[in-house]
């Protein structure tokens, strides 16, 4: 609006100057200024009319005015073609893309713009949505036969025999023996063991006393609780001592364990027994329910087991990408080839988009839109027209005056 005011002011000054200098004498200066104002007025009016004719009908004149409205279809198609074929041509788009190092941009984004965290969180979020949509019952029903066949195919019998071989090695045998001793220490303190111990003490007491009054008298000084406590204490001392590596009972116990495992290992029927037990367990285990429970509580749930592994894997792959020029070059080339294919495939969408956007606007909206974009430049044309007209008018006035004086024209 400011430029339009300047253009109107220039026109008004030209008009008032032309009127004000008319009939003010025939001196060279006055004549030159008058013709300058007059030419500025003519130039300003002509440019005003031309600018107004683009968007409407100045002075109500309809002939060759209202250019945008009357030529809308042709102008719009020209804009569409310019946008698609010149400004955003396939070549121009790909030239811009090819100038960029997309691999380096990805590294910058991943390392310094929070891209690593966003990528990991987005991947985990997508996988969680995928897992949440899984039908655990259907999947479990489909997987169960494969799991059962896989369990039957597993050489668990051979693995158990190999485990027995490992158990006969001294470091492992020592640890297993001490583990059994610790289990024994816990066992003798349990209520079940204590009750069993007291029952046996009571039974032995009854058999020992018999009809002997003297035996009954001697045993009356020791009740069952006292004897049970003493035996428990002695057992605990023996077991605790057996955990010492330099204790004879420890060495004997370890040797007995190794001998037992070796005997078990070389038992010809062991493999068959283990196989029958494996088949029995597989046939009676509820694979489907186990799979359903695993999917619902371990794959879905609030804390799926796989999230830390996925995050670790993604961090590892991102680190490889960030420190590998070869991977960055591959990513750069892959994305540019992908972009080239998409541009080639969908380039006509640019023309469709521009055309649809322009078609959505009414004539008045389109005129307002275009005028808003070029208003300033058009008003400057009016100002420049007045200024150029003034100089041209004064120059012509001087030329004519000098010609009259020199040649009497």
128 or 167: which carries more pLDDT confidence?
128
193 or 221: which carries more pLDDT confidence?
193
* Portion of the chain with pLDDT greater than 90, in percent: 16
Q: Is the pLDDT of residue 125 over 70?
A: yes
pTM (two decimals): 0.53
Range picked from 85-94, 130-139, 314-323 for highest mean pLDDT: 314-323
**Which pLDDT tens digit goes with each residue over 372-385?**
777 777 778 888 88
Distance CA 220, CA 167 (A): 48
Residue count of the chain: 409
The closest of 338, 342, 352 to 90, measured between CA atoms, is 342
Torsion on CA atoms 187, 191, 194, 195, rounded to nearest 10: -140
Q: How confident is the model at residue 314 (pLDDT cuts 50, 70, 90)?
A: very high
163-170 contact pairs (CB < 8 A, 24+): 164/261, 164/264, 164/265, 165/265, 167/257, 167/258, 167/261, 168/258, 168/261, 168/262, 168/265, 170/254
**Which pLDDT tens digit goes with each residue over 24-81?**
666 778 788 888 888 888 888 888 888 888 777 877 777 777 777 777 788 788 888 8
Coil, strand or helix: which one is 380?
helix
- CB–CB of 233/214 below 8 Å? no
Q: Is the pLDDT of residue 207 over 70?
A: no
- CB–CB of 303/311 below 8 Å? no
Supply the pLDDT for residue 119. Answer: 94
Handedness of CA 163, 168, 172, 178 (dihedral sign): positive
The closest of 47, 31, 46, 37 to 15, measured between CA atoms, is 37
Supply the pLDDT for residue 122. Answer: 93
């Amino acid at each position: 609006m400011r430029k339009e005011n300047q253009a109107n002011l220039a026109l008004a000054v030209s008009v008032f100057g032309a009127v004000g200098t008319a009939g003010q004498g025939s001196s060279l200066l006055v004549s030159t200024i008058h013709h300058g104002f007059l030419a500025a007025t003519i130039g300003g009016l002509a440019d005003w009319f031309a600018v107004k004719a683009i968007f409407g009908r100045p002075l109500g004149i309809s002939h060759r005015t209202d250019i945008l409205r009357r030529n809308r279809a042709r102008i719009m198609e020209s804009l569409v073609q310019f946008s698609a074929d010149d400004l955003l041509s396939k070549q121009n788009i790909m030239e811009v893309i090819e100038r960029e190092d997309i691999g380096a941009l990805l590294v910058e984004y991943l390392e310094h713009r929070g891209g690593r965290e966003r990528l990991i969180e987005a991947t985990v979020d997508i996988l969680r949505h995928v897992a949440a949509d899984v039908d655990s019952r259907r999947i479990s029903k489909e997987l169960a036969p494969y799991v059962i066949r896989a369990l039957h195919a597993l050489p668990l019998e051979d693995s158990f025999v190999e485990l027995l071989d490992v158990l006969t090695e001294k470091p492992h045998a020592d640890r297993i023996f001490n583990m059994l001793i610790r289990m024994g220490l816990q066992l003798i303190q349990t209520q079940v063991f204590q009750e069993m111990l007291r029952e046996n003490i009571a039974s032995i007491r009854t058999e020992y006393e018999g009809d002997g009054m003297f035996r009954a008298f001697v045993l009356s000084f020791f009740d069952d609780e006292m004897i049970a406590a003493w035996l428990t204490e002695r057992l605990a001392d023996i077991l605790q001592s057996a955990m010492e590596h330099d204790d004879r009972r420890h060495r004997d116990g370890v040797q007995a364990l190794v001998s037992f495992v070796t005997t078990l290992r070389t038992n010809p029927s062991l493999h068959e027994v283990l196989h029958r037990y494996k088949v029995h367990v597989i046939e009676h285990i509820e694979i489907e329910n186990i799979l359903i429970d695993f999917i619902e509580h371990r794959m879905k749930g609030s804390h799926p087991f796989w999230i830390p592994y996925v995050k670790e894997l993604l961090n590892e792959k991102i680190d490889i990408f960030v420190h590998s020029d070869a991977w960055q070059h591959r990513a750069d080339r892959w994305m540019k080839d992908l972009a080239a294919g998409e541009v080639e495939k969908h380039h006509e969408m640019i023309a469709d988009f521009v055309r649809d956007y322009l078609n959505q606007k009414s004539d008045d909206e389109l005129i307002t839109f275009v005028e808003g974009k070029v208003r300033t430049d058009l008003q400057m044309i009016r100002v420049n027209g007045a200024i150029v007209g003034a100089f041209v008018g004064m120059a012509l006035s001087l030329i004519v005056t000098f010609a009259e004086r020199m040649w009497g024209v």
